[in-house]
Structure formats: C-alpha cells, structure tokens
Homo-oligomer: A and B are copies of this chain.
C-alpha cells in the first residue's frame, strides 16, 4: 500500500489489487482527458443507477452533461455521484483462464455535484464539454442561443476525491504454466476511427474540416 497518497480519503482508496492504484493528479487528469464517456452512479429511491454521460475536465473541476441526475437534485442542493471513466488498452491472454485480464486505465471520482446556475459559466462549460469530445468544434459552429444554454443541465463537481487504477504489460502466469506451449500475450485495443459520413442534408460543396478528418484519440 506504499503508493497510497496520504491525501487519499478512505472511501476512494483502492482495496482490490492496491498495486495497480494511482493517486497523483497528473495521472488521473491524463486518463480523464483521454476518455470519451463517463459512467455516473447515483443512489435513487429505487437503488443504484449508472448512466453513461458526457463529461469534461476543467482544471480541478469535472463538468457533466445530462439531466439524468436532475430528478435527484433538490432545491439548491447537490447530489452525491460516483463518476467512473474507463479506457480499455488490451486483452491480456494468459496460459490459464484464471490469469486472463485486461490492460486498462480507469478513474473513479466521488463527490457532490451541483448544477451550474450562472449563464456565462454554463455557456463556457458547454464549450469545454464540446472541446473535450471534438477539439476545434466550438470555433467551427455558430454561438449558443440563450434558450439552448438555459435548457441544458450541466453539473459541476470537484476532482478532490479521485483515484486511478492502471494495468499494463504481459500476463502474469503461475510459474509452472510458463512451461506450457499455450500462446500468451496481449491483444492491443484502441479506438478505430472511420471515414466521416456527411449529413444527407449538408449544403452542397461544404468541405470536411480538419478537426473532423484529423479526429483521433
């Protein structure tokens, strides 16, 4: 447990496979910045609920887009969330089934999220959410309309309580299994980006901009 930062709260401390845990903010930020989708957990009167949500990081703050949590927000109060972002880097193929695994990077952020009320702050948060998914898109589109900003719920939460978990490298097999002639290794996985498909109603002759053709993760 020597990797555990003294600042890590008890509830965020990784208990299972603690040697895979990371608590430095730079490592946590890098994973958050690369991920596309967060899985956000909340406690409802019906039990736990996990919803995929768009998110973005702005310094030490996480923005979440989506009204899924809106029913849980009470007048002027926040809602307790657990935001998990996972990136799969590969399938770890071992000599025994028990040692199969995945190479992955994941982050868990816990805390209270509150809706952004201020118009300008919310407008800026929407831009940051957009830039997180497609950098360069804000400049390429018309400005927000007032009703668009007002009709959107953006939640904001601090990244104070966060931990990351990372697995890399080849399988770790039982020592005697290394004598077997069973293939073992890693199948690397990433994001495959296809050719952009133009909207059928695109104004004729509109070129595909570079921020679309060059999109990658």
Given A88-B36, A91-B215, A170-B200, residue A209 in contact with residue B183 (CB < 8 A) = yes
Q: Shortest CB–CB separation between residue A185 and chain B, in angstroms?
A: 4
A162 at interface by CB-CB < 8 Å:
no
A158 at interface by CB-CB < 8 Å:
no
- Copy tally for this chain in the complex stands at 2
What residues on B are CB-neighbors of A81 within 8 Å? 48
Q: Shortest CB–CB separation between residue A51 and chain B, in angstroms?
A: 7
The reply to whether B95 and A141 contact each other, CB–CB distance below 8 Å, is: yes
A194 at interface by CB-CB < 8 Å:
yes
A74 at interface by CB-CB < 8 Å:
no
The reply to whether A84 and B183 contact each other, CB–CB distance below 8 Å, is: no
What residues on B are CB-neighbors of A148 within 8 Å? 96-98
* Per-residue contact bits, chain A 26-60, to B (CB 8 Å; 1 contact, 0 not): 00000000001101111110111111101000000
Interface residues on A, range: 35 or more
Residues of chain A at the chain B interface (Cβ within 8 Å): 10-11, 15-16, 36-37, 39-44, 46-52, 54, 66-68, 71, 80-84, 86, 88, 90-91, 93-98, 100, 102, 104, 106, 108, 110, 126-127, 130, 133-134, 137-138, 140-142, 144-145, 148, 152, 170-171, 177-203, 205-209, 212, 215
18 pairs from A and B in contact (CB 8 Å cutoff): A11-B46, A36-B102, A37-B86, A39-B84, A46-B110, A48-B82, A49-B110, A90-B194, A134-B187, A170-B201, A181-B205, A182-B206, A183-B202, A183-B207, A184-B202, A186-B196, A186-B197, A191-B191
